[in-house]
Structure 1
Amino acid sequence: MNILLTGGAGFIGRWVLKRLLQDGHKVTVLDDLSNGREDNIEEFRAHEGLKQFIIGDIKDEALLEVLFAKESFDICYHLGASINVQDSIDDPRTTFNNDTVGTFYIMEQCRKHQVKVVFMSTCMVYDRCNDATGITEEHPIKPASPYAGAKIAAENMVLSYFFAYGLPTVVIRPFNTYGPFQKTGGEGGVVAIFIKNKLLGKDLNIYGEGTQTRDLLYVEDCARFVVEAGYSDQVNGQIVNAGLGRDISVNELAQLIAGDDSKIKHVTHIHPQSEIQKLLCNSQKAKRLLGWEPQVSLEEGIARTEAWIRTSHLIG
Structure 2
Amino acid sequence: MGKNVLLTGGAGFIGRWVAKRLLDEGHNVWILDDLSNGRESNLAEFMDHTGLKAFVRGTILDEKLLAELFAEYRFDICYHLGASINVQDSIDDPRTTFNNDTIGTFYILEQCKKYQTKVVFMSTCMVYDRCTDAAGIDETHPTKPASPYAGAKIGAENMVLSYYHAYGLPTVVIRPFNTYGPFQKTGGEGGVVAIFLKNELEGKTLNIYGEGTQTRDLLYVEDCARFVVEAGFSDAVNGEIVNAGLGRDIAVNDLALLIAGDSSKIKHVEHIHPQSEIQKLLCNSSKAKQLLNWEPNVSLEEGISRTKAWIAEGGLA
| Same-fold call, TM cutoff 0.5 | yes
The two structures, once aligned, show a CA RMSD in angstroms of 0.7
- Note the residue ranges of structure 1 that are not aligned, 5 or more in a row: none
Query: Which residue of structure 1 lines up, in the alignment, with residue 299 of structure 2?
Result: 297
User: Under a length normalisation based on structure 2, what TM-score does the superposition of the two structures give?
Assistant: 0.99
Query: Which residue of structure 2 lines up, in the alignment, with residue 257 of structure 1?
Result: 259
Q: Please state how far the C-alpha of 1:72 moved relative to its aligned partner.
A: 1.1
2:21 is matched by which residue type in structure 1? R
Once residues 271 and 314 of structure 1 are traced to their aligned partners in structure 2, the CA distance between those partners, rounded to angstroms, is: 27
2:250 is matched by which residue type in structure 1? I
Q: Please state how far the C-alpha of 1:196 moved relative to its aligned partner.
A: 0.2
Q: Please state how far the C-alpha of 1:314 moved relative to its aligned partner.
A: 4.9
Q: Please state how far the C-alpha of 1:77 moved relative to its aligned partner.
A: 0.2
Query: Which residue of structure 1 lines up, in the alignment, with residue 21 of structure 2?
Result: 19
1:213 is matched by which residue type in structure 2? T
Query: Which residue of structure 2 lines up, in the alignment, with residue 165 of structure 1?
Result: 167
On the 8 A contact 2:78/2:117 being kept in 1, the answer is yes
Q: Choose from 189, 202, 210 the match for 1:208.
A: 210
Q: Using a 3 Å threshold, how does the CA distance of structure 1 residues 313 and 160 change in structure 2: closer, same or farther? A: closer
Query: Which residue of structure 2 lines up, in the alignment, with residue 35 of structure 1?
Result: 37
After the TM superposition, which residues 43-58 of structure 1 pair with which residues of structure 2 at under 5 Å, given as runs? Answer: 43-58=45-60
Once residues 256 and 131 of structure 1 are traced to their aligned partners in structure 2, the CA distance between those partners, rounded to angstroms, is: 25
Query: Which residue of structure 2 lines up, in the alignment, with residue 72 of structure 1?
Result: 74
User: Under a length normalisation based on structure 1, what TM-score does the superposition of the two structures give?
Assistant: 0.99
Q: Report the number of matched residues.
A: 315
On the 8 A contact 2:31/2:54 being kept in 1, the answer is yes
Indicate whether 1:176 and 2:178 are aligned.
Answer: yes
Query: Which residue of structure 2 lines up, in the alignment, with residue 111 of structure 1?
Result: 113
On the 8 A contact 2:11/2:31 being kept in 1, the answer is yes
Once residues 281 and 66 of structure 1 are traced to their aligned partners in structure 2, the CA distance between those partners, rounded to angstroms, is: 39
Q: Please state how far the C-alpha of 1:312 moved relative to its aligned partner.
A: 2.1
Q: Using a 3 Å threshold, how does the CA distance of structure 1 residues 87 and 53 change in structure 2: closer, same or farther? A: same
**What percent identity do the matched residue pairs reach?**
81
Query: Which residue of structure 2 lines up, in the alignment, with residue 143 of structure 1?
Result: 145
- Note the residue ranges of structure 2 that are not aligned, 5 or more in a row: none
Q: Please state how far the C-alpha of 1:313 moved relative to its aligned partner.
A: 5.2
1:29 is matched by which residue type in structure 2? I
1:90 is matched by which residue type in structure 2? D
CA offset digits 1:142-179 (Å, max 9, x no partner): 00000000000000000000000000000000000000
Once residues 189 and 68 of structure 1 are traced to their aligned partners in structure 2, the CA distance between those partners, rounded to angstroms, is: 33
Q: Please state how far the C-alpha of 1:303 moved relative to its aligned partner.
A: 0.2
CA offset digits 1:188-227 (Å, max 9, x no partner): 0000000000001100000000000000000000000000
Indicate whether 1:271 and 2:273 are aligned.
Answer: yes
Once residues 73 and 87 of structure 1 are traced to their aligned partners in structure 2, the CA distance between those partners, rounded to angstroms, is: 32
CA offset digits 1:126-152 (Å, max 9, x no partner): 000010000000000000000000000
2:102 is matched by which residue type in structure 1? T
Q: Using a 3 Å threshold, how does the CA distance of structure 1 residues 9 and 78 change in structure 2: closer, same or farther? A: same
Once residues 137 and 61 of structure 1 are traced to their aligned partners in structure 2, the CA distance between those partners, rounded to angstroms, is: 32
Moved over 3 A (4+): none
CA offset digits 1:237-277 (Å, max 9, x no partner): 00000000000000000000000110100000000000000
Q: Choose from 5, 10, 13 the match for 2:12.
A: 10
1:119 is matched by which residue type in structure 2? F
Indicate whether 1:247 and 2:262 are aligned.
Answer: no
Q: Secondary structure at the match of 1:180?
A: coil
Once residues 207 and 219 of structure 1 are traced to their aligned partners in structure 2, the CA distance between those partners, rounded to angstroms, is: 24
Query: Which residue of structure 2 lines up, in the alignment, with residue 196 of structure 1?
Result: 198
Q: Secondary structure at the match of 2:235?
A: coil
Indicate whether 1:282 and 2:284 are aligned.
Answer: yes
